[in-house]
Amino acid sequence: MTTSGNRRILISFLILVASLALTVSDGAAQYFGRNKVQYQKFNFRIIKTKHFDVYFYPEFRAVAEQSARMAERWYARITRILNHELRGRQTLILYSSSPDFQQTTTTSEAISEGTGGFTEPLKRRVVLPVGTSPAETDHVIGHELIHAFQYDMTSGRGPGGGMEAGAALARLPLWFIEGLAEYVSIGPVDPNTAMWMRDAWERKDLPTLKKLNNPYKYFPYRYGQAVWSYITGRWGDETIPRLMRSVGRSGELEAVVTRVLGVKYDALSKDWLAACQKAYEPVLKETQLTEAASKVLFKGTEMNVYNISPVLSPDGRWIMFLSTRDLFAIDLYLADAQTGKIKQKITQTAVTPEFESLQFIKSAGAWDPTGKKFVFGAIAKGRPILTFYDLSQEKVSEEIPIREMDEIFSPCFSPDGKRVAFSGLHAGQTDLYIYDLESKNLRQVTNDFFADLQPSWSPDGRAIAVVTDRFSTDLSLLSYGDYELALVEPESGKIDRIEAFTGGKNINPQWSPDSKSLYFLSDQSGKTDIFRIDLGTKKIAQVTNLFTGVSGITDLSPAITVADKSGRLAYSAYDHGRFSIFTIEAGEGLQGSSTIAQFGGKLLSVLPPREQPTGALLGLLRNPLYGMPEQIEFPESSYKPKLSLEYVAPPQFGVATDRFGTYAGGGVGLFWSDMLGYHTVGTIFQTSGRLKDFTAYLTYQNSQRRLSWGGAVGRIPYVYGYYGYDFDQTTGLLIEQEDLFWMINYQALGFMTYPFNQVRRAELYLGYQYIDFQHEVITNILDPYTGELLGRETTKLPAPDGLGFVTATAALVYDSSIFGATAPILGQSYILDLAPNIGSLNYLGAMADFRKYFMPVKPFTLAFRALHYGRWGKGGDDDRLYPIYIGYDTFVRGYYYTTFGDSNVQENFDENRLWGSKILVGNVELRFPLFGVLGIGRGYYGLLPVDMYAFYDWGVAWGKDFSGVSTTPAIFGGDRKAVSSAGVGVRMNVLGYLVLGVNYVKPLSRPGKGWLWQFSIWPGF
């Protein structure tokens, strides 16, 4: 995965500067957002190979050394294929598990459970967790290193190519970038991508290359790999560096394709589609479509793409499965296995912090023998837990932390219900474990670098079936064999190989009720189907022969389940671009056919136009010795943080000339960090021609531990004023005057932030602030006919005394909301903030902001906000503090000062009602995705990310207003009345970065004012 790197460093830094200055020490906790929690402190060390600096921590040293050798081999392969050597040394940062990886400080971005790794352009770092098997780790290293080469080839510089490299790749479609990474790291033989292409062809949705530019509709990894396989299959792998270099320089993909390949872009699309037609049409004649072969229980839809990891109860009555049926997250559901009617939603991962992961890609749960309890693996507080759901109580009844593990997958009960076996990842290797529920004892059954996955305990209790790579993998050569089936004796740990298919994967074993047979998945033909092997006779029968294939999210995800007593089977399959769940009743349908489909000897995983697995790349991938370093141990050193320049905000300079003279201004931002992101430093310098207008700000943040801390110092001037002119009746000259006021903020502060979990954190700020006030009038004398400047005079006028005070803020922030395209659509958030100020002015800044989002009927959201902010105490009403205004469109719409003008007297409305030292605001919105509701386009938002809404705003400001009068609101027995408004509006997300809105509003407290238009550039509350 490519990433824009630490773009949010700049954004967060600018927000911090703005909030500190504009609030004038009235509290710094002015934003929401979920937390990235560092549950652990990692003691990183560095392995140095010929080309790499490999960062790791001692708990998985042996696996890190293996990974270093993998990286060197990939370097040799990629150099050969791309005909390019990296400039400088390459950084590879490893984590021992996905939960550890999600805590990385190398990026401020949140890492999702589905992210297998990333490569960022700022320091050209490759960052990833080790996988559940050596082969999985090897593939991800290869994929991400290709991105490092892509950045290097397009930036013209070495590590730290920065935004130049990122900008060059950003001009190219994702299918070109990610597809190349998949192609080079996997090759032209891939059952998973072939499945996707067959499905797209059958539903007549194979896109042209131009349509592939939409990554939301066409997954760039799969489709991009298929296109690259076609290009190299027709023109050879030697075309890869020619295309990459040319398009990296120009960014003109269509022109480069035409020049390098000698075929026009549209013609290339047609040729690729024709090759797919030729490859997949014969397959359709020899297979079944999924809905014709089995009964659909949960059908994937445009709004519910994933229905996966089915688990039938022993009697076949109930089914647990993972699904996106509630739109915003993958959750666990309990349903009737006959009708598909949902009985209960077990988890609420989108809006509650209980589970950080359900391990939905690599794991499924299991029922106990009675069918009354269900166990599944999850991640909570950064560590794995066994979670037990009680069917009779209809709730999660127990959670058992497995502190010895990093992750746990596919737990299953013993037949007596007293033990749970699972595949556990620890120190970078995946082994089989058994946990005794009575003694609370954890026993490790296997202990080696081979993978032992997807355990399934036989109904008679004699064996645990597993998936393993141990029988055909050579760890000394890092040569990975196919996944095969094995039987493990639970007590002794003895492992016996099951002789199933010799080619392709054999995974996801599920026992027949009599313990005499195993159902499993195999892609021996190049597509994945269900097979049954008789453990006595070793005979194999084919249960399904689907056109697409039986599959979970990845080619190693669990996808089938068999009821222990009834023998009923359910499976997930990729069908019509979604994952659906199907069932097969016990009986003849599960006996299968003794004739195994062969498809004329063709391997269906070979991507067209190839018909056989050939090519220079494939030869490299199948040669484990090419590029393999002889060295197996490498020099090692401790990590010592050193700051280096990470990003330079593009310098901005300007020169302006008018009749009053010439002015110059400009600014630049510089940002530094160490390689692991523990320490970040940011600076901003800006000037607009005069010394008093000079801005400078310096920040530092230490993110090495869960408690992050830092500080900031700076000078920020704000200037505002008035302009007027008059004719001198005596001289006849034109007199222009600029009346200017400066408020110059000098600030120094320290801060600490402690996240309790992903949605709740505490913040503490302490500092000193001095505000200097200056006032001057600039008088210009001009000839009224020629505009010639005849004279200029600057007069300094008295200004208020400066303010100096110690500032402090303590805040509790909670945010479980789900943000849509333009505003939150589900969940809740709140801030409780107290900010005492002691010094020239003494007062207490207090804020309470509560927001709640309901979805009574999908996709309509009811949004509520209640906000109070006030400066309490005598100093809070001081004239030198700018009063608070509720007429902004973020508070009460319809009252912004530009809507008054000359009609103010006619309206008989006192604008002072909008100002005060304290405010109370309430808002209600009913918002919905406009095109999604109209059915125009696909997905939640449809054609465009546009929200429409109806709203009601209410607010009151009191205390000292702009006229200097102190007031009390009517709700507290005073005479200051609230204002309100109602209306409708539309907000649109522009390019993912800007939210533009327009409101048609009726200010209800302005009887002389009709409906008016008001524009905004802010997301909804």
Tokens standing for residue 506:
């054999």
List Cα–Cα distances, 495 to 162, 442, 492, 794, in angstroms: 51, 19, 9, 92
At residue 2, the pLDDT reads 65
Amino acid at 588: E
Query: What are 649-676's pLDDT values in tens digits?
Result: 765 544 443 333 333 445 678 999 999 9
Residue spans of the chain under pLDDT 70: 2-30, 156-165, 650-667, 689, 902-907
Strand order in the sheet with 429-436: 407-413, 419-426, 429-436, 442-444
At residue 861, the pLDDT reads 97
At residue 356, the pLDDT reads 92
Tokens standing for residue 997:
């809105």
Q: Residue 1015 burial by CB count (10 A; 0-12/13-18/19+): exposed, middle or buried?
A: exposed
How far is Cα 458 from Cα 414, in angstroms, rounded to an integer? 8
Q: Which residues contact 658 (CB under 8 A, 6 or more apart)?
A: none
β-bridge partners, 995: 989
CB 763 within 8 A of CB 746: no
E runs forming strands in 858-929:
860-872, 884-885, 915-916, 918-929
* Residues 195, 198, 203: CA angle, nearest 5 degrees: 125
Sequential DSSP letters for 669-714: EEEEE-TTSSEEEEEEEEE-SSGGG-EEEEEEEE-SSSSEEEEEEE
β-bridge partners, 333: 321, 345
At residue 720, the pLDDT reads 79
- Give per-residue burial for 607-639: e unless 16+ CB within 10 Å, then b: bbbbeebebebbebbeeeeebbbeeeebeeeeb
CB 474 within 8 A of CB 517: no
List Cα–Cα distances, 845 to 508, 841, 876, in angstroms: 59, 12, 8
How far is Cα 1018 from Cα 995, in angstroms, rounded to an integer? 6
How far is Cα 578 from Cα 584, in angstroms, rounded to an integer? 19
In the chain, the N- to C-terminal Cα span, in Å, equals 32
Q: Which residues contact 863 (CB under 8 A, 6 or more apart)?
A: 823, 824, 851, 852, 853, 923, 924, 925, 926, 927, 1020, 1021
Length of the chain: 1021
Q: Residue 21 burial by CB count (10 A; 0-12/13-18/19+): exposed, middle or buried?
A: buried
CB 1020 within 8 A of CB 927: yes
How far is Cα 504 from Cα 483, in angstroms, rounded to an integer? 7
At residue 649, the pLDDT reads 75
Q: Which residues contact 992 (CB under 8 A, 6 or more apart)?
A: none
At residue 162, the pLDDT reads 58
Place of tokens 């069918």: 371
802, 1019, 1008: which is closest to 908 by C-alpha? 1008
How far is Cα 595 from Cα 600, in angstroms, rounded to an integer? 13
822, 751, 892, 975: which is closest to 29 by C-alpha? 751
Q: Which residues contact 219 (CB under 8 A, 6 or more apart)?
A: 196
How far is Cα 360 from Cα 352, in angstroms, rounded to an integer? 17
Q: Which residues contact 687 (CB under 8 A, 6 or more apart)?
A: 665, 666, 667, 693, 694, 695
CB 945 within 8 A of CB 989: yes
How far is Cα 344 from Cα 352, in angstroms, rounded to an integer? 16
At residue 27, the pLDDT reads 42
How far is Cα 472 from Cα 455, in angstroms, rounded to an integer? 19
Sequential DSSP letters for 616-646: HHHHHHT-TTTT--S--S--EEE-----EEE
Q: Delineate the domains of the chain, giving CATH numbers in brackets.
A: 1-21+40-170+626-639 (3.40.30.160), 188-286+597-608 (no CATH), 292-592 (2.120.10.30), 641-799 (no CATH), 816-1021 (2.40.160.50)
How far is Cα 721 from Cα 741, in angstroms, rounded to an integer? 6
